[in-house]
Chains A and B, each alone.
Chain A
Amino acid sequence: MPSPTPRLPRMALIAAILALVILVFAWVGGFLSPGRVGGGGLADALQAANGKVYPGFRRAHAKGLCVSGRFEANGAGAALSRASLFPAGSVPVIGRFSTGGGNPMAPDGRVVFHALGLRFVLPHGERWHMALDHTPIFIASTVADFVALQNAAIPDAKTGKPDPAKMKAFAASHPETQAFLDYMKTAPLPSSFANGTYYSIDAFRFVDAQGQSRLVRWQFEPETPFAALDKATLDKQPSDFLFDDLLARTKQAPLRWHMILVVANPGDRTDNATVRWTGPHRQIDAGTLILDHAATETQGDCRDYNYDPLILPKGVAASDDPILAARSAAYSASFRRRTKEGPRVDAVTSAHATGGGQ
């Protein structure tokens, strides 16, 4: 079709409009901001600190064991949140105990940092996922610090081990990380998964039936009496001693924890998971977690879930703690990667198959 005016300026206009759309997309997607860290960047940092990728396994807390049971609510938690977990009654729970680190074959004595993922199956399709640690505090207060910490832990190409000077330098400039390392060194560690307390770490916003909102942390306190781990003999312990201990204990009797809700006092830090809440607090015992069954990851039904701490029911929401969103993004990236790689047989199952277990 002949055109009355020259085509070139109009072609340029079309190109400019398309370029603008591409530019907006690139800007929103972070392609113009190399410093922006997403869930994938966090998973990359964890992989680098692990020294290698272990396909099919979580990028952190790679070694785990499945548990299941129920939560028996006593009704008291409804004073703080309208979440359907809290009215008196019982809901099914599955969970996963894990040790720290990204090596799924690591001996338990090397990574005595414990964690517990829980998945509460609530009415009307709702789920509440929790990712709890046996420390009341987290190791870093911001995403940038967490990435820098992982970078300081990258194994040296020659020695195959992290450079202790780098970690020392990081801790020296980050007192909250030093406080966490001191806690791990000085606080008595639980001798078993069964006698540890598991903390929410971050604060969450609880909303009650009247719409009133409060900031809350919580912890699962064991009925099993605390016993301290002998840190001097850790190297001599069998490779899977923590996991085998839990398998043996659940065969004997159900394990029980009380869910203790802790309401923030005015002045408590609710945006910083490295700061403990000290002094007296309003506490509510919301009910009992009863775990009566354990199985290896390969035989159980816990491995293929993401214990993303932001999968929350109505009545519970995120706080302004930046670590919370970062955990959610990082867990999702790890889940994306490992599910596509496909599951692998876990260390405890392998050990039992070769007669190494109890």
Chain B
Amino acid sequence: MTSKFKYFLGATTAVMIGLSGVAGHADAATLRMAWAQDATGLDPHKQTAFSSLRLLELIYEPLVRLDADLKIVPGIATSWEFSADGKQLTFKLDPKAKFQNGAALTSADVKASFERILDEKTGAANRANYLSIEAIETPDAGTVVFKLKQPDAPILTAMTDTNSSIVPASEIAAGTIGTQAIGSGPFKLEKWDPNSKAALVANKDWAGGATGVDGIEISVLPDETAILAAMRTGQVDFALLNDPLIATLVPKEPKLQLNRAPLLAYHVLQLNPARKPMNELAVRQAISCAVDRQAVLDTASLGEGKVTGPITAPFFASDPNSLFCYKQDVEKAKKLMADAGFADGFSATVIAATGEPPTAAAEAQVLQSQLAEIGVKLDIKMMELNVYVDTWLKGDFDMAVALNGGRPDPYTMYNRYWTKNGNLQKVSNFADDTLDKLLQDGRAETDPEKRKVIFAELDKQLAEKAPWIWLYTGYGYTAQQKNVQGFVPMPTGSLVSLGKATVQQ
């Protein structure tokens, strides 16, 4: 009886799955997408989670955008210009730009959006990047002029961020930003059921032209193994992957294609130079010399990535081999330890977040064994992400394994940590005249080649002073069915090019 029942159950299951497969078959002009983590809110000025930005950047648009080479390209603005003294930045807006509620996008909306970001009551994440703004002028509906207190070259790069998206002035006044998503981007948010499903439909009025698909249907599949399974069965056309372990399985499927983009975000071992004995330069340098960065990358991340210096943006980055102690040198490390009076080593605690990134625990373990060689005994403390963030923000750690977000501009990326009044001075615990000056110079300089020289020096200084031990940058992964075309992977992990992607029948 039991076996008969099981047979019956098996047969019905098969039939039901077959039928549900037929019923669930979507139109080919819709891109079916999956990711493991959903957005956590709709306010583009407040949401900073990677997952939130991936959804919001398809709905909202900033004044300017980045292309795959991290060059600044038009967004809402068609052209822009710094004045000769670098203290005035003028934008010409695209006359075709329109919000998804039908209203034209004018300079008044730009002004209102930036005023909202600058208003402390908003709690906008990007405010710190705009403190040099003195006034915003709108000579006509298609022109916006930012008057600056001082020359500020990186402000333009900051404006490419989804956190600086332009929202309708009318929605700001109505207080509905965050409850409704009205932007000027390629897609309209039709339905959002958090942690389950989102439906985007093409915005016919998009100033960027026609989109390649009629819409995007997003499923949240929290387990990446399940995402791979869904791709294998053709249920999903396009997926975002985080775990290198899952990503490396994708090329084994003949119908699937894996896209890898080197990311700006960097894996780093942060030391706390305010704590003994990390306050000793020699100890920090010893740790830097003792670490075999390539081995950390190979063991923790299956070699998926490349060793990096402090600056990760390709245009500004230096060759890691030219930096201080980037080749493991245990003898030198031991000598430095002895010089500092720690020939017998010391004990310290290293914090890491569970599963964020997926490689965090493995990195901590490799570092633990490498540092043991010079007598540094590491005690690993794994924490849930929010607990980790809380501890990290307080600077309450000896060492921390971190994956920090990168920025296309070295100034916006590092002023928060290494200028004396940077907001994250509490996290870095390291103030230094040279670093401070280099960052200030790099901010005021508008000639890219001269900036490159300044930031190369910053790279060198950071590696030598070793407040942190920069390890490697990984890849951002997306997987797609081979009939999906036109998607361009970006070093920022951005999915904006889905606006032009198509699904072939």
Q: Please determine whether chains A and B interact with each other in the same assembly.
A: no
Give the interface of A toward B (CB within 8 A): none
